Structure 1
């Protein structure tokens, strides 16, 4: 199913503009993430698609060739997975998954066949008769997904599906969710504020800020070619290098850098993995903090620009706090973005 939103906006009675006029298209079988900080409008947009919020006049929501803008939530044939999972604690896993099918008044044999199918796909067969209260957080997440998928919805909507899990579970279940969504071959939209989650699961990411989509593209496009300072900072934590550009030379507090193009009117950004600590680099600064992260060190350095910058250092030995270090940055790793593009 293809989803299209045109001129879709939401203004609350007190005048708050939760969502500015938005255009969004999602292709059949595509997994799209709405990514952004709290209050950016992503959950409002998801709720409008679901039918849980009424958009402003002039908004249009299309499922294929059907305009569903005025349809009630129960008539839209969407599956939903909420942050809290919203499972029935007094029912077994099998009964939870079959609940929506019973509401559709399907024959018992068909309900049993569909429930068995999704139990197998979500690897929940051993837990079919178990109570929800006896499951781990990860198992509950799979039950919520299975219950949403069982009625074969036109569209699957997920609101922060992993945020209720502890950090140790989140990464493995993030990968599992990506696999399951593709196995189901279903069109899906999920809301998250976690860039790693969005980039690991989605085919396309729509970054939102202040009630609008500021850039949409594949995870690689957003990471390598951000169009604003907000996207550069939010996707990949790019750091601003505040200095004075003179043509293709950037003069910083801690040295000079060669830019890939004329830096006039631009703000220069770099990511920590592109700041290399070297004996003879053109930049110099003082080590303020060192964090060991297993495969690498994160070294925070002051004196290079107006704020501290970080370097991902993969050497066996890290510099110590208080040391002065030299650094280099490949010109091709620098991102030049219009100073006025920051919308955050």
Structure 2
């Protein structure tokens, strides 16, 4: 199913503008993430698509060309997976998956056939007769997906589906969720505040800020070519290089950097993985802290800018706190973007 949104906005009673007028197009079978911090409007937009919230007059919400903006949630034929999964704990896996089909009053043989189909698709055969309360977090996620998919919805909507899980399980299930959504071959939108989750699962990511889409694109495009400083900071944790730019030179407290091109009037940013310890580097810094993370060290550096910079160092050892080091940043690794207002 294709989804087209035009002029979709929401102001809550009291005047809070949760969503500014928003346009968005999602293709057949595409998986799109709405990514952003709390309060940016991503969950409001998802709920408007579902029919759980009403958009302001003038909005268009088109499923395969049909405007469903005036249709209630039960007539939009959407599947939803919530953070809590909202499963019936004492029901078996089969009964949970078949519950929505039973409410649709489908014939028993059709319910059984669809339940069998999604149980196989979600690899739940060994757990079909078990109570949901006895399952692990990952197994419950698969049950929630199977239940949402069984009625053959036009679109699948997921609201922070992994946020209730612990970090190690979340990483494992992130990849599993990506695989299952592609097996379903269904158009899907999921909300998250976790950039790793969005980039691992989605075909495209819509980064939202202050009630609007700041940028939408593939994970690679957003990471390599952020359009705003907010996107650069949120996708990849880019750090500001606050200094004075003169043509293709960036003058900082710790020295001067060569830029790839003239950048007068722009802001400069860098990511931690692009800062290298180099005895011949143009910048001088003092090491504040060193954290060993297994595959690399995370090193906090002062003296380059007013705020600390962080470098990821992959050597077998690292200098210690208090040491003075030289660092290098390749010209092409410096991200230059238009200056933005502080509220952006």
Same fold (TM over 0.5): yes
Residue in structure 1 matched with residue 26 of structure 2 by the alignment: 26
Question: How far apart are 1:70 and its partner, in Å?
Answer: 0.5
CA distance in 2, matches of 1:289, 1:130: 50
Distance in structure 1 (CA, Å) of the matches to 2:121 and 2:212: 36
> 2:10 & 2:90 partners in 1: Cα distance?
37
Task: Give the TM-score taking structure 2 as reference length.
Answer: 0.99
Would the aligned equivalents of 1:81 and 1:157 in 2 still touch at CA under 8 Å? yes
Secondary structure at the aligned position of 2:287 is classed as strand
Correspondence 1:158-307 to 2 at 5 A: 158-307=158-307
2:325 aligned with 1:325, yes or no?
Answer: yes
Inter-partner Cα distance in structure 2 for 1:56 and 1:190: 22
CA distance in 1, matches of 2:20, 2:334: 32
Distance (whole Å) between structure 1 residues aligned to residue 334 and residue 94 of structure 2: 53
Deviation, 1:342, is 6.1
Report the equivalent of 2:313.
313
Matched position secondary structure for 1:113: helix
C-alpha deviations, 1:273-326, integer Å up to 9, x for none?
A: 110001111111111111111111111100001110011101001111111111
Q: For residue 198 of structure 1, give the secondary structure of its aligned residue in structure 2.
A: helix
Q: Does the CA-based 8 Å contact 1:11-1:56 persist in structure 2? A: yes
- Deviation of 1:336 after TM superposition, in Å, equals 0.5
- Larger mean CA deviation between 293-302 and 196-205 belongs to 293-302
Q: CA deviation at 1:340?
A: 2.1
Q: CA deviation at 1:121?
A: 1.2
Task: After superposition, give the CA deviation of every residue in 1:50-100 in whole Å (9 maximum; x if it has no partner).
Answer: 000011011110001211001010000000000010001121110000011
Residue-pair matches, total: 344
Residue-by-residue CA offset, 1:168-205 (whole Å, 9 max, x unaligned): 10011000000000011000000000000000000000
The equivalent of 2:107 in structure 1 is 107
Q: Does 1:90 align with 2:90?
A: yes
Pairwise CA distance, 1:341: 6.4
Q: Does structure 2 conserve the Cα–Cα contact (< 8 Å) formed by 1:286 and 1:325? A: yes
Report the Cα distance in structure 1 between the residues aligned to 2:289 and 2:189, rounded to whole angstroms.
39
Counterpart of 2:133?
Answer: 133
Q: Contact 1:229/1:342 (CA < 8 Å) preserved in 2?
A: no
Q: Residue 176 of structure 2: SS of its match in structure 1?
A: helix
How far has the Cα of 1:11 moved from its partner?
0.6
- Unaligned runs of 5+ residues in structure 2 are none
- CA RMSD, 1 decimal: 0.9
Q: Is residue 230–residue 342 contact of structure 1 (8 Å, CA) maintained in 2?
A: no
